[in-house]
Structure 1
Amino acid sequence: MSYLSLGLAAALWCVFAASAWSKLRSRAAQRAFADSLRPLPLLPGRLVGPAAAAVTAAEAAIVLGLGWSVVAALAGRAGAGPAATLVLLATGLLLAVLTTGVVLAVRRRTGVRCACFGAAERPLGRRHVVRNGLLLAGVAVALVDVVAGAAHRPAPAGAAVALLAGVLGAVVLIRLDDLVDLFLPIGAPPPARREP
């Protein structure tokens, strides 16, 4: 892995770890995630629970796979590249499925709230499509870099910078709703009606 793919893998690891943890931390959290999928016209009601469990399990598996890939790359293991390729392909596939659901929810104006990182107050919107698009682009760049790049053990200082950059990028993506709300102008309250 190069420093670029190392940083991207770290960012993806953080995003999926936060997402998986938000669903695995309690039964209530898993139920809340499943309930957030119910208004989507994608699955029959009886499949919502199993689909939510499958997404959560896939996210947890990706966290383990990305974590192993990063550690293997840092240790200079020979099999790090092929393993990272498989994990990145699985990550891209899951992201493509999730992004399709987000796009359909936004287009159909379902008002479904984003439960990617726990409970949210904002419904799914273009910002979530953009966030998932950035994640998909990150997967694609990392995948091309891993497949095309030569395997070498990264220097500790460069690896530390790449990992830190990945973590910071992930924090921005995870807290995107809060950041957008922070920088969007607040609308003026409607004028009060005068009594006759």
Structure 2
Amino acid sequence: MPALLVGCQAAVAVAFAGSALAKVAGRAAYADFRRWLARTVRVPAWAAPLAVAAEAGTAVAVLVPATAAFGFGAALALLAVFTAALASMIRRRVRVPCRCFGAGRRPPGPVQVARNGALALVAAVGGVSAAAGAEIVWTAAAVAPPVAAGAALGLLLAELEEIVELAR
């Protein structure tokens, strides 16, 4: 159970930290995110720093043992909001690329919904493990494999849109 918790922590932290960083990777990236948020998602542009802070805070919270369960709950809440926004865009037939996890190249669709669902499953499993009080033995040999696997999963989920596009 500790290895599962560590893997979930790494996956959620990598996905959310990567998403937050992609949005603030430069003035142009941040300006694009603010415009996209206001025009496409129909959320006021002033909410952009709140979204970035929520993602970054979630990435940190899942890594801290005292706040891990809260962090996983925050991840689930954010993913619910993100998925609702995706559903709205899909329903409105929005053709603008999704900026949910950085600068996507494809309009919102099933790939982004599947990504959010998979990440929500990881967050739920992590939340249950954290709430159960899994004891982690902090040695490199015990932590390295689940950290590597979780980080790879987080990166895979964050880049799922690009991976599916390459497969096509």
Q: Same fold (TM over 0.5)?
A: yes
Q: Following the alignment from structure 1 to structure 2, what is the Cα–Cα distance between the partners of residues 183 and 41? A: 28
Counterpart position of 2:100: 116
Counterpart position of 1:24: 24
- Deviation (angstroms), 1:156: 2.7
Q: Is the 8 A contact 1:39 1:112 kept in 2?
A: no
Q: Please state if 1:52 is matched with 2:36.
A: no
Unaligned stretches of 5+ residues in structure 1:
70-79, 185-196
The root-mean-square deviation of aligned C-alpha atoms, in Å, is 1.8
Higher Rg: 1
CA displacement 1:120-165 (0-9 Å, x = unmatched) = 2211111000000111111111111111244242443231000000
Q: Is the 8 A contact 1:39 1:110 kept in 2?
A: no
Counterpart position of 1:8: 8
Counterpart position of 2:79: 95
TM-score normalised by length of structure 1? 0.78
Q: Following the alignment from structure 1 to structure 2, what is the Cα–Cα distance between the partners of residues 167 and 135? A: 12
Q: Following the alignment from structure 1 to structure 2, what is the Cα–Cα distance between the partners of residues 56 and 41? A: 15
Q: Which amino acid aligns with 2:24?
A: L
Aligned residue pairs, count: 168
Q: Following the alignment from structure 2 to structure 1, what is the Cα–Cα distance between the partners of residues 134 and 41? A: 45
TM-score normalised by length of structure 2? 0.90
Q: Percent identity?
A: 35
Q: Is the 8 A contact 1:7 1:163 kept in 2?
A: yes
- Deviation (angstroms), 1:40: 3.3
In terms of mean alpha carbon deviation, does 2-11 or 142-151 score higher?
Answer: 142-151
- Deviation (angstroms), 1:2: 1.0
